[in-house]
Amino acid sequence: MSVTSRPAHYGFAEHWLPRLVLAPSFLLVLVFLYGFIAWNGALSFTASRLLPNYEWVGLAQYEALFASERWWVAVHNLFIFGVLFIGGAMAVGIVLAILLDQKIRLEGALRTIYLYPLALSFIVTGTAWGWMLNPGLGLEKLMHDWGYAGFSFDWLVNPDRSIYTIVIAGIWQSSGFVMALFLAGLRGIDDSIIKAAQIDGASLPRIYWRIILPAMRPVFFSTLMILAHIAIKSFDLVMALTGGGPGFSSDLPATFMYQMAFTRGQMGLGAASAMMMLVTVSAVVVPYLYSELRRSRHV
């Protein structure tokens, strides 16, 4: 190290300046992120109702949570939404990326068009799809006006189907983003690999299936991570599109938490559900971060 040959005051600045610069944001993150997580954790063990109090009740809130039908509807919905949303956005995104990768004209324009929904907030997406899927206002009314009187599309107001409308809107919003990620990955593939496979006699679908998509594994995992955490914390889309309804048929854990903690005066229960979400997200993210960090240390 050449540090020893430098003047002493230079070493002092070099030593303390980075810490000084980083300290404010470090403090803010420590208090407002980890501090509040800890506070929320503490509240989940109390009998807090409209306002926080510190009457310790042990695991009672968690017991109440697991006994709540509404919570299990929300968890069940999260499962449906998560699987269909991640799978759907991934499938649509990959297909779009492969189609766009065929050296077509106007690629730049098309890419922007497909990516654009990402620029909208989930609130706008939810509101717009709410209008389109509203039987008295959108698609169903349009078809009726055109003379197809038998046409029916009432998923938005059907308690058994309402969660799927959220899936549709979510896929519409996110598949362009998946497309952009995969397109970048596809562009990273050496052209001569495709040529080699052509000479080897492989058809285009086979080249994608056997050679190119397997090479996309890192992109696949990054996309999965991003979509998974979008799915788990989904809140605004549900609020704008269905408001969790009809009834609580399209509740997700995030809307459940919001309802309990801030509108129904069940803050302890809300805190407990928030902790459950934190655990779920951690279960997804921590192994990923661990493997990523371990890999970068080895490189």
For residue 86, the minimal CB distance to another protein (Å) is 23
Nearer to another protein, 202 or 224 (CB): 202
Contact status, residue 256 vs residue 65, Cβ threshold 8 Å: no
* Separation CA 48–CA 151 (nearest Å): 49
CA 193 to chain centre: 33
Nearer to another protein, 2 or 296 (CB): 296
Task: Report if residue 110 touches another protein, rule: CB under 8 A.
Answer: no
* Separation CA 113–CA 4 (nearest Å): 57
For 299, other C-beta atoms within 10 Å of its C-beta total 4
Residue 236: both structure tokens together = 């605004």
Contact status, residue 224 vs residue 86, Cβ threshold 8 Å: yes
For residue 204, the minimal CB distance to another protein (Å) is 12
Spell out, one character per residue from 181 to 210, where the chain touches another protein: x when CB under 8 A holds, - when not: ---------x-xx-xxxxxxxx---x---x
Cα dihedral value 288, 294, 296, 298, nearest 10: -150
- Interface with another protein: number of residues (CB under 8 A): 17
Task: Report if residue 263 touches another protein, rule: CB under 8 A.
Answer: no
For residue 288, the minimal CB distance to another protein (Å) is 20
For residue 185, the minimal CB distance to another protein (Å) is 12
Task: Report if residue 222 touches another protein, rule: CB under 8 A.
Answer: no
For residue 203, the minimal CB distance to another protein (Å) is 8
For residue 219, the minimal CB distance to another protein (Å) is 13
* Separation CA 156–CA 166 (nearest Å): 9
| Among the listed residues 18, 35, 87, 214, the single contact to another protein using CB under 8 A | 214
Task: Report if residue 145 touches another protein, rule: CB under 8 A.
Answer: no
* Separation CA 136–CA 144 (nearest Å): 10
Residue 185: both structure tokens together = 């990955």
Which positions touch another protein (CB under 8 A)? 190, 192-193, 195-202, 206, 210-211, 214-215, 217
